[in-house]
Structure 1
Amino acid sequence: MDRYSVSSLVGQGSFGCVYKALRKADGKMVAIKVISKRGRSARELKNLRRECEIQARLKHPHVIEMIESLESKMDLYVITEFALMDLNRYLTYNGPMEEEPGRRVIGHLVSALYYLHANRILHRDLKPQNVLLDKNMHAKLCDFGLARNMTLGTHVLTSIKGTPLYMAPELLAEQPYDHQADLWSLGCIAYESLAGQPPFCASSIVTLITVIKHEDVKWPSTLSSDNTPPLLPGWDSCDESQSPPIENDEWLAFLNRSVQEILDGELDSLKQHNLVSIIVAPLRNAKAIPRVLQSVAQLLSLPFVLADPLLIVDLEIIRNVYVDVKLVPNLMYACKLLLSNRQLTDSAASGTHPAGSLSRTLRSIPELSEEELETASSLYELVCHLVHLQQAFLSQFCDAVAILSANELFLNFLTYDFRQADSDSASVRLAGCILALLGCVLRELPENAELVERIVFSPRLRFATLLQSRHHLLRQRACQLLRLLARFSLRGVQRIWGVELRQALQELADNYNYPALRIEAAQTIDEISQFSFFVT
């Protein structure tokens, strides 16, 4: 401790005292928390050391940095960066924040909390006193005394921790909870920052618990109308500036450990909605690297490749969880992010809109790296498998095609020049998945045929090219799709029909090297030849 010069007492409480101090070596201002060991049980001391271990490895601009921790016979010393005041004191002296600075502070906390959860850490005691503000009004989370490392079994945590005013209903009821309890507390802090008081207030703990469980939040009329931008930026934006930070290396380590657990027969994690929601989170983050996205897809695919007849019941539960967390739309969204190429719009470039007004164009297949192609293939192979398993996945697929405007994305996959690609290449597998998915829509949900028509009958796509491909997978799936189109979109088939398409189909019917494909082509010809346009 002789490396520091203590200047003043900043605060004190049941935990001990906090002093403002100067690090002699470089003059850096620090905070020293002195925690007495007197009267503390071995369990309490273990928890304190755990707090130090957790905080020591956290490096984020909106999480208070622990410089070091020291221990003497009677005390524990935690040295952190110094912050001017906490949010509680700020609100007490200054009243509620204006909306714009309030948004910035809340955005800092969202980013910090996402970082903690990405590192599998629950805070469990979020409140204004644990939000520190520096001289530039940058918010930093602190006090991890109640923090708990998240494992795939986090849902078993049921002991009540935290401050009642900011506690989620499931904590008050001592029900299982996970990272969403932190999100509830963050929402309470956001409310208080802008409204000047917590969203729930009562004269007693019993009444407070009742209010939290049963009352709706009432926003003050002084806040802006619905025309104002959302309070918390949407994380599903294609704009990378709206994506919270992600520790890709940490995610890879976490996903690799999770894969090993699944391979060892531990499937419980994939039967829990909240835990799968955590695993799916990188799919919505534009800053997730391809390896992380591919690892997510591989992890979530594992239950379907483990050939154990005892898994039938588990698989049904897992499938239902995947439906509930909207896995298919998330996988599709991740692929769109992966292929997106952010560019300034003309209006932004000309200065008519604020800097940072961005649009995204989709990169073509040749513009992608091999790793990106393999990742896109992994994502859509899982989508394809799920869609063929259960109609709920297929319905979500159709919705996502419309919401994500996936037509251009699919056309990019289908119009690539496959002549130089190997049969097992990612580009061929990707196009094969899209053809299979479109066929599944026509076969199982023909009322959504219009979604398929917008893609297949686009002027960009020459269907005959798919039938003439040197890749057996593409020829067969294109042939199957054409047969279904003749049943459910006959006018569209008539529009694209011509000599080239008829000859391509006839060549497949005459090819004896692939009996299954030959039969498929012959049956397609039999069905289409009934119509007068066949001979044109």
Structure 2
Amino acid sequence: MDKYEVIGLLGEGSFGRVYKATKAGTSSVVALKVITKRGKSLKEIKGLRQECEIQRGLHHPNIIQMLDSFETDNEIVVITEFAHKELTVVLSKEGYLPEERAQRIVWDLVSALYYLHSHRVLHRDLKPQNILLDQKNNAKLCDFGFARNMSTGTHVLTSIKGTPLYMAPELVEEHPYDHNADLWSLGCIIYELLVGTPPFCTTSLLHLIKMIRHDQVQFPSFLSELCISFLKGLLQKDPGKRVAWPDLLKHPFVKGHVLVLDDVPSKPLTRPMSIDTLQAKEQQRKDCLNQRALKNSPQCHKVVSMSTSSFDIENNNSSLDEQLSMLNIDSDIGARSCLQSSANSDSETHVDNGHLHFYENTNPIENDEWVVFLLRTIEEVIAGEMTSLSQKSLASIIISPLSNSNVSSKVLGYIANLLSLPFVVTDTSEGALEQIKNIYFDVKVVPNLVYATKLMFQYKCSTNLSTSSTAFAAIDSETQHFIAELSDDDSEALQHIFLLICHLVHLRSEFLKHFCDAVATLNVYNILRDMLSLSKQRVRLVIDLLAILTHILRTLPDRTDVITKILNTDNSEFNVVHLLKSSNPLLRERTCYFVQNLGKKCSEVLKSEWTESVRDILETLIYDSIEDVRNAAEVTVQDLKKLPFYQ
């Protein structure tokens, strides 16, 4: 850092900060991007280094040039050439550009993209925010955070990147894609330059996806026929019909104005494919589709950028709390009725662990944009519009942040709230609820909620532990230390997550089996045990977790190993006396039922936790001031007196 003198802050985001600086001892102005390593896994840091390596090898007048990069213990620092203007700032001031002026920018962007594709690099996040202008108004591409080098044997990709306003239809459909997806995004940017908005623009992500899939692009009459012809070629929904290299260079709108450098590699993406290559590409596309079908693992989409919102967040939160309070009551009633009911039939299908696949997504996520999107969707659901939750593809998008290690706890909480609403919104038909339950099972809502819980604790631990294989093995043993570091947003998100899980597992045994399988697959026994210590901070969380564990004991006798592994851990004690003495009557009641069923199904585990204090407080609760607590304590003591260690 001694080689550079910082002049001022240019901007900041989830990645870090960008500063305007000069090279020490000179007047040369540069941009200095400082990316923090804190809280990032080794995989994320490796991705950042990959971005540096990709950009280091790019040398084109219309691509921001990397000048230097280095690392400190806590940061990655990238130094690039300085560009004086952002295209988004120009558009915000002027609305749109005259065709002649926009055309010059188009020439620069096509030149940059042709160079990237010639060097087998896909940008994958083309948008106006990633385009800068120098003092001569030459356009330059920047931000290669999602860029990908395609090896010579790779013809299609499947991981979803980018921003939906500029996302190609094949990406929205989660189909395999190639460099032609960048050409669609280029068409969207050019359209916005000329018209003032992207071809498909809405503040609802769900509506946007429908528009990209089904709506036709409307071209204003004030554009020239030549320009419309060029845009139509780029904005073909079918990637096979989209104008491609080298034909794009021959279009009259850009012909003769694209800067093509001589350093073209031997196998550029810009060269027409041979018949053999086309066949190999089609086979890879089919293989990718088959793999996706087997994994059934929705990928994360970034959300449409919405800088302003007319949505009243505070008022909606109040309304949402009122709605969810109904779920609290329903959950209590459901839990109590299940505790008193007989066990489900053993003939029901067990969900095998092998059917659960968890794939951590470490890509950046725009948390503020997700909050706005979720609040709008919550408003729609409260108004009775359930489409977002009753269609598998849309529900998959909503739960996709649950597997993202960069998601904020606030986003997690709103996702859990949104998924809970159908069960408390009035006038929701039984048919609609059944369909939503089926969708929740198909997209594995419960396992994904458990995974989000795991990632939350994993992130807390990774800020202080390295992410080597041995460190990940140590994370579970460190959760008690980090439970104290949970923020209010963290603990609130956990409360919403487990309220929803509790309700779902009492609705269908399949959800309960999903919970058990996820706990086993993800090895979150220690995390769940340590969460039982949060009764002072989040009593509702502990109440719901105890109800889930009691329900396992009551209805899934073949899965009591989950309870055993949660309670038989060495890093902390299960303080049953503390729970029985709680000032919250519902927690006292739930703890009684849990101890009762623990004695029936896992008596050896209860024996290891048994003390005279436990016995004394149970007998005292028979005279509790709350009738439900008295009843729970009485039946518990009656059952436990049959055990040899009770006296």
8 Å CA contact 1:86–1:129 kept in 2: the answer is no
- Which residue in the other structure is 1:114 paired with? 161
Q: Which one has more relative contact order, counting CA pairs under 8 Å at least 6 apart? A: 2
- Which residue in the other structure is 1:181 paired with? none
8 Å CA contact 1:467–1:479 kept in 2: the answer is yes
Q: Equivalents in 1 of 2:390, 2:166: separation in Å? A: 18
Q: Equivalents in 1 of 2:559, 2:408: separation in Å? A: 33
Say yes or no: does 1:410 pair with 2:528.
Answer: yes
- Aligned-residue offset at 1:278: 0.6
Q: Deviations over 1:445-499 (max 9, x none)?
A: 1210011122234452132222122322221111101111122112222333231
- Aligned-residue offset at 1:162: 2.3
Among residues 488, 513, 521, which one is paired with 1:395 in the alignment? 513
Among residues 47, 56, 70, which one is paired with 2:97 in the alignment? 70
- Which residue in the other structure is 1:6 paired with? none
Say yes or no: does 1:515 pair with 2:569.
Answer: no
Cα distance change, pair 198–116 in 1 and its aligned pair in 2 (3 A) = farther
Among residues 97, 109, 128, which one is paired with 2:179 in the alignment? 128
8 Å CA contact 1:407–1:454 kept in 2: the answer is yes
- Which residue in the other structure is 2:206 paired with? 152
Q: Equivalents in 1 of 2:463, 2:286: separation in Å? A: 45
Say yes or no: does 1:315 pair with 2:362.
Answer: no
- Which residue in the other structure is 1:201 paired with? 278
Q: Equivalents in 2 of 1:398, 1:478: separation in Å? A: 20
1:368 alignment partner, SS class = coil
Say yes or no: does 1:496 pair with 2:609.
Answer: yes
- Aligned-residue offset at 1:415: 2.8
8 Å CA contact 1:270–1:276 kept in 2: the answer is yes
Say yes or no: does 1:293 pair with 2:405.
Answer: no
Cα distance change, pair 472–364 in 1 and its aligned pair in 2 (3 A) = farther
How large is the Cα RMSD of the aligned pairs? 4.5
| AA at the equivalent of 2:561 | E
- Which residue in the other structure is 2:421 paired with? 302
- Which residue in the other structure is 1:467 paired with? 580
Cα distance change, pair 387–415 in 1 and its aligned pair in 2 (3 A) = same
- Aligned-residue offset at 1:317: 0.3
- Aligned-residue offset at 1:510: 2.3
Among residues 261, 264, 271, which one is paired with 2:380 in the alignment? 261
2:112 alignment partner, SS class = coil
8 Å CA contact 1:510–1:518 kept in 2: the answer is yes
8 Å CA contact 1:262–1:302 kept in 2: the answer is yes
- Aligned-residue offset at 1:322: 0.7
Query: What's the TM-score, normalizing by structure 2?
Result: 0.53
Among residues 322, 332, 339, which one is paired with 2:457 in the alignment? 339
Q: Deviations over 1:92-113 (max 9, x none)?
A: 9xxxxxxx9547999xx878x4
1:532 alignment partner, SS class = coil
Q: Equivalents in 2 of 1:216, 1:237: separation in Å? A: 19
Q: Equivalents in 1 of 2:539, 2:149: separation in Å? A: 50
8 Å CA contact 1:438–1:481 kept in 2: the answer is yes
- Which residue in the other structure is 1:487 paired with? 600
Give the percent of matched residue pairs that are identical in Structure 1 and Structure 2: 28
8 Å CA contact 1:456–1:463 kept in 2: the answer is no
The number of aligned residues is 397
8 Å CA contact 1:509–1:517 kept in 2: the answer is yes
- Aligned-residue offset at 1:506: 0.5
Cα distance change, pair 321–56 in 1 and its aligned pair in 2 (3 A) = farther
Please list every run of 5 or more consecutive structure 2 residues that lacks an aligned counterpart in the other structure: 1-29, 31-59, 64-85, 122-147, 172-176, 192-197, 216-235, 243-268, 291-299, 301-356
Q: How does 1:366-405 map to 2 (within 5 A)?
A: 366-405=484-523
Q: How does 1:429-444 map to 2 (within 5 A)?
A: 429-444=540-555
Query: What's the TM-score, normalizing by structure 1?
Result: 0.63
Q: Deviations over 1:176-208 (max 9, x none)?
A: xxxxxxxxxxxxxxxx99xx87998369xxxx9
Among residues 418, 441, 451, which one is paired with 2:562 in the alignment? 451
1:152 alignment partner, SS class = helix
| AA at the equivalent of 2:600 | R
8 Å CA contact 1:271–1:321 kept in 2: the answer is yes
Cα distance change, pair 478–70 in 1 and its aligned pair in 2 (3 A) = same
Q: Equivalents in 1 of 2:507, 2:179: separation in Å? A: 47
